[in-house]
Amino acid sequence: MTTDKNGTINEIGGVPSLVRPVVVDFVKDVVSVLGANLISMALTGSVITKDFMPQSSDINSALVLREMDFKVLDGLSVLGRKYRKKRIRAPLLMTPEYIERSLDVFPVEFLDMKVLHRTVYGQDMLSDLKVEKPMLRIQCERDLKSRLINLRQGYIKSIGLKGVLLKLILDSYSGFFPLFRAIIYMVQDLGVPPIAKKEILNTVEDVYGVDMSCFRKVMELKGQRRPKLGPDETSRLFQEVYRVIESLAVKVDEIRL
């Protein structure tokens, strides 16, 4: 979907045909509910990339509002009931002031939105975001180390059940890519870091010298309707993923910007 200078909703483009009708309906409903309070609406994340999987990927969006109040939440909660079974996640809500005051707190998330968004209504509020690399480095290190903690806790909670452990690996997979994209952006002089997951893994491998084969294996499993892996293979895959994240956390800690 594109917009004209008056914010008129036009035809959607670049969204997979299988989910395009529900996306069109959702955008129209959001615009109708929020009216003049809505400055901008953008689709974000994998729905605008070739990595989108209609059967498993969520549809994400970001709304920029003139004012944030509970009327907004009440109106959107009605849409939540309508769309919750259609893989449309609750939109991220922001005001221009919130964005300005939060770029230093959530640089990874804002970088990801800057790179992966398509404005479908109103002004493009994301393309010109200024993400500072020193702040990005701090969050990347913190988030990588936090994910190590989550992996350790998840391993313990799995109580030796390999099916539970495999689910932990698969569920955590997508969340690593904003971090991978950010650690590439930190050290390469690129206006736009890689978008496709395969390219991201290849670039991390080249830049940081870390073998990302385990994430390629997880990508393969994610593409299967009913992924299965033997107990020994599951344990080995978990250990490989853990060691990759541990290695990247150390390397990011050593970066000086």
pLDDT tens-digit profile of 183-227? 999 988 767 889 999 999 999 999 999 999 999 999 999 988 888
Using one digit for the tens of pLDDT, what is the confidence trace for 75-118?
999 998 899 889 999 999 999 999 999 999 999 999 999 999 99
Q: How far apart are CA 177 and CA 237, in angstroms?
A: 18
pLDDT confidence of residue 1: 46
- Residue 94 in contact with residue 65, Cβ under 8 Å? yes
Rounded distance between C-alpha atoms, residue 63 and residue 38, angstroms: 7
* Average pLDDT value for residue range 144-152: 97
Asked if pLDDT for residue 138 goes beyond 80, the answer is yes
Other beta carbons within 10 angstroms of residue 146's beta carbon come to 12
Distance of CA 131 to the CA centre of its chain: 16
Write down the pLDDT at residue 13. Answer: 65
- Starting at the earlier edge strand, list the strands of the sheet with 60-65: 92-94, 60-65, 38-44, 117-122
Q: Is the pTM of this model over 0.85?
A: yes
| Cα radius of gyration rounded to whole Å, the chain | 19
